[in-house]
Amino acid sequence: MSELLQKVRVVDPVSGTDQVADVLIVDGYIQAIAPNLADFSPDTVIRDCRGLVLGNGLVDLYSHSGEPGFEERETLDSFLQAAAAGGFTRVSVLPDTSPPIDNPAVVAQLQRKSSLEGGLPSPSLHIWGAITLDLAGKQLVEVADLAAAGVAGFTDGQPWENLALLRRVLEYFQPFGKPVAFCPCDRSLMANGVMREGAEALRLGLPPVPAIAETTAIAALLELVATIGTPVHIMRVSTARSVELIATAKFQGLPITASTTWMHLLLDTKAVKSYHTALHLNPPLGNPSDVAALRGGVRGGVIDAIAVDHAPYTYEEKVQAFAESPAGAIGLELALPLLWQNLVETGEFTALELWRALSNQPAMCLQQSMRAIAVDEKAELTLFDPQEVWQVNRENLFSLSSNTPWFGEEVIGRVIKVWC
């Protein structure tokens, strides 16, 4: 199979280049890149790519798959199809399945089922192993067995309450050299809150979550890292003060990486006035100052990566009072177009800055490498049309769930193809 992409905008944060060129892909490898390519076989498929963007394949740090246990929300097949449709060539699933991913048998089950049907390219599946059995936060998993089974890293994907056990985790997991990720939140401070503390929460009458519920947990984690030295990844950063704490820790040389989610970069508490349950997230959407700090953190590298944190739920689960609904929203098919329109088209981010936070930086957090878009390299690429208009509806979504505030609306920007 030979394909020529003519006059495509090549955005490659690995090499730091943003240029318009012709790109020839033959049998899954990049054969040539030049301003004007004329030397190609007669059977080459030629695509006019003026206005299109070709970048490194996107990498999602963490998301939720319904399978096993919640296939009515999302099967592994629909999860991978949604990821491919959203431009992702690598995706990482969290261990909160049923049964949870806390033993090698569940890892093997997911690995066996991780190929796509229907002829679409298949993103590579990376699996987060649990830290504790049944995600109960009380008894550690057999970490050596899970590491040998091929998990990408370890996380429970939920807040920790026992700092003594957290210390043991950092000491015990250190020799295995796998990423260890934590979601920072003090549940006693969070209480029954569902919305970021502030004027909007008072106005809407929703139970508030103070920013210190996140920042005190980050501060405690950073103290443990400073003492023990185990590298950690901080998930779901959502407050301005958290960005400050992480920046200070990085300046001091602590071995940490951090990520926020795509919706926390786009929306703030003012959006919640609709009471749309797809805006009930954990952590909750921040105040405008939080959003500004998170965007600055991503641009400046304090926040290493943008995660999707795709969390599918059925219609019945989400159609209830805001505070009673489960927290989470889908996003694999929406993250790139909405981030591009709201950050790149507005001039706040460069294309390289956004693409870096969605591709090679998440790969780095997973201790993986991302190759430059160069001759003789295997094609792991995403072709994106930033101007295509489409409607977010059941006919256009591969995800089985539709819990998103953009459902029924038109979105600008759509992935054309991925090479995995």
Percent helix, strand, coil in the chain, to 5, is 35, 25, 45
Alpha carbons within 13 A on the beta-carbon side of 250: 17
**Is 240 in contact with 289 (CB distance < 8 Å)?**
yes
Active site residue 77: no
Q: 3-state class of 268 per DSSP?
A: coil
Residue 157, judged by CB atoms within 10 A of its CB (0-12, 13-18, 19+), counts as buried
Measured in Å, how far apart are the chain's first and last C-alpha atoms?
A: 14
**Is 109 in contact with 81 (CB distance < 8 Å)?**
no
Q: 3-state class of 153 per DSSP?
A: strand
Q: 3-state class of 12 per DSSP?
A: strand
**Is 222 in contact with 255 (CB distance < 8 Å)?**
no
Helix (H) or strand (E) holding 156: none
**Is 126 in contact with 95 (CB distance < 8 Å)?**
no
Helix (H) or strand (E) holding 223: helix 212-228
Radius of gyration of the chain measured on its C-alpha atoms: 21
- State which amino acid sits at residue 147: A
Strand segments (E) across 229-380:
232-234, 256-261, 305-307
Opening angle at CA 199, ends 195 and 202, nearest 5: 65
**Is 186 in contact with 159 (CB distance < 8 Å)?**
yes
Quote the tokens at residue 418: 């991925």
Q: Which of the following is catalytic: 60, 77, 268, 309?
A: 309
Q: Using CA atoms, how far apart are residues 162 and 153, in angstroms rounded to an integer?
A: 20
**Is 411 in contact with 57 (CB distance < 8 Å)?**
no
C-alpha distances in angstroms, 298 versus 16, 304, 334, 349, 368?
A: 16, 6, 19, 10, 19
Q: Which positions are catalytic?
A: 309
